[in-house]
Amino acid sequence: MHMQLEIKGLTNIYKTGEGIRNIHLQVKKGELLTLLGPSGCGKTTILRSVGGFVTPQEGQIIIDNEDISKYSPEKRPTAMVFQSYNLWPHMDIYNNLAFSMKLKKMKKEAINERVQWALKLVHLDGMEKKFPSELSGGQQQRIALARALLLDPQVLLLDEPFSALDAKLRHELREQLREIQAIQKLTMIFVTHDQEEALAISDRIAVMNKGKIEQLDAPKEIYNSPKTYFVANFIGKMNFIELQAQDGIVQLGNSSFEVADVGNSKVQTAIRLEDIEITDVDPDVNGIIKKIMMLGHYAEVTIQTEFGLLKTFIEKRKLETLSVEQHVGVCIKAARFYGNNELKSNIKRSSTHVKEFEAAY
């Protein structure tokens, strides 16, 4: 597969000690790669290094087999959409869009045509004469996107472009971006701290923490098998229970798990909300319902158990049989174990099996 963008050994550490260390990334042509992480994790530093606004201490950035590390931003085949204040307030929309083409001394008719094309692409035809201050936040970001697209970038860089917008608009723009990407076959790097946004739009996600990539995978993989405790904690909702392993065995209510190389250390047990079920048949642990929170077509139910509070999702129609302070049984259908931030493989054993196991030693 042809790589549109390759980042090799990118390192840039700030005086504060924050920054990025030895980052390697490859982005395929037409792929949308998201850099996801909390603030200060280095995701924006990577993006700005690719755009040329940060000069990294070490590393190479290769676009279409050419090392562009030495070029200044104006010479790079990249275009960037910033978080906010994107548009030039003293120019009308037409000039905002046409500026780059005027710099290239393109013919007026050609510029007109391209501007019209771009406006149509972001569904804002007829806005040429307006000034940025007359547009809503969402419209401004769409114009900013159009302006970046008019550069015909080989890689489009988006630095939390929707974070200043309200939730509904964010969803709309997200869909529109995906649409445009499909039409234009764009290669994109998208930076966000919003895990939901990342899961929704990405082909692949690089989850970052403290200047390192913790996991680089498709959204489904990231959600289903987070490779580190950090990723498990950051992506989606999780129940966490700290348990003491004994000779590699972790006991979770009536279930027990054989967890690879943990010995007698403490492990973090992570359980997705949808992997917890309220049941009367053979429960792993018993508890009392403490809270029921409606979230639309489903509800989040909080249950007090011997492991602390466990949360689970319940479909709306199953809710009728449940009420607060009710005693219920809880069945844990899947769990992951993390020791020292790393995922440990495990095998679930039945209770009887565990007893036999103990008897043998």
Partner 1 sequence: MIAKKQKLLGIAMVLPSFLSLIILVVWPVFISIKQSFQNEENQFTWDNYKYVLTDPMMVNNFKYTMLVTLISCVLVLIISYALAAYLRFSNSWFSKVISRLYFIPMFIPGIIAIYGFINMYRDNGWIARFIGSENMPSFVYDIKGLVLMNLWFNIPFTTMLLLSALSAIPGSVIESARDVGAKKLTIFFKFILPLSYNTLLVALTFAFMGIVGSFTAPYLIDKNAPQMLGVSMQQHFSVYHELGQSSSIAVILFLMCAVVGFIYIKNMMKNESHS
Residues that bind partner 1 (CB under 8 A): 51-53, 72-75, 78-80, 82-86, 88-90, 92, 99-100, 103-104, 131, 133-134, 144, 147-148, 151
Nearer to partner 1, 52 or 56 (CB): 52
What b/e sequence results for 309-348 when a residue is b if at least 16 CB atoms lie within 10 Å of its CB, and e otherwise? ebbbbbeeeeeeeeeeeeebbbbbeebbbbbeeebbebee
Answer whether 28's CB lies under 8 Å from 3's CB: yes
Nearer to partner 1, 18 or 274 (CB): 18
- State how far the Cα of 327 lies from the Cα of 25, in Å rounded to an integer: 50
What is the nearest approach in angstroms of partner 1 to the Cβ of residue 90? Answer: 5
Q: Name residue 289's beta-bridge partners.
A: 303
Reading the block at residue 233, the tokens are: 């904690």
- State how far the Cα of 130 lies from the Cα of 93, in Å rounded to an integer: 6
Reading the block at residue 360, the tokens are: 């043998």
Measured in degrees and rounded to the nearest 5, phi and psi for residue 48 equal: -70, -30
Nearer to partner 1, 24 or 75 (CB): 75
What is the nearest approach in angstroms of partner 1 to the Cβ of residue 298? Answer: 39
Nearer to partner 1, 79 or 201 (CB): 79
Helices (H), strands (E): how many in the chain? 9, 22
What is the nearest approach in angstroms of partner 1 to the Cβ of residue 23? Answer: 21
What is the nearest approach in angstroms of partner 1 to the Cβ of residue 144? Answer: 8
What is the nearest approach in angstroms of partner 1 to the Cβ of residue 85? Answer: 4
What is the nearest approach in angstroms of partner 1 to the Cβ of residue 14? Answer: 13
Q: Which helix (H) or strand (E) holds 4?
A: strand 3-13
- State how far the Cα of 247 lies from the Cα of 259, in Å rounded to an integer: 9
Nearer to partner 1, 82 or 313 (CB): 82
Distances (CA, A) of 189 to 29, 119, 158, 166, 212: 11, 22, 6, 22, 17
What is the nearest approach in angstroms of partner 1 to the Cβ of residue 35? Answer: 18
Q: Name residue 332's beta-bridge partners.
A: 276
Nearer to partner 1, 5 or 343 (CB): 5
Nearer to partner 1, 38 or 73 (CB): 73
Q: How many residues does the chain have?
A: 361
CB neighbour list of residue 134: distance below 8 Å, 6 or more residues apart: none
Nearer to partner 1, 3 or 151 (CB): 151
- State how far the Cα of 323 lies from the Cα of 263, in Å rounded to an integer: 40
Q: Which of 28, 35, 68 is nearest to 51 (CA)?
A: 68
What is the nearest approach in angstroms of partner 1 to the Cβ of residue 102? Answer: 10
What is the nearest approach in angstroms of partner 1 to the Cβ of residue 290? Answer: 46
Nearer to partner 1, 82 or 223 (CB): 82
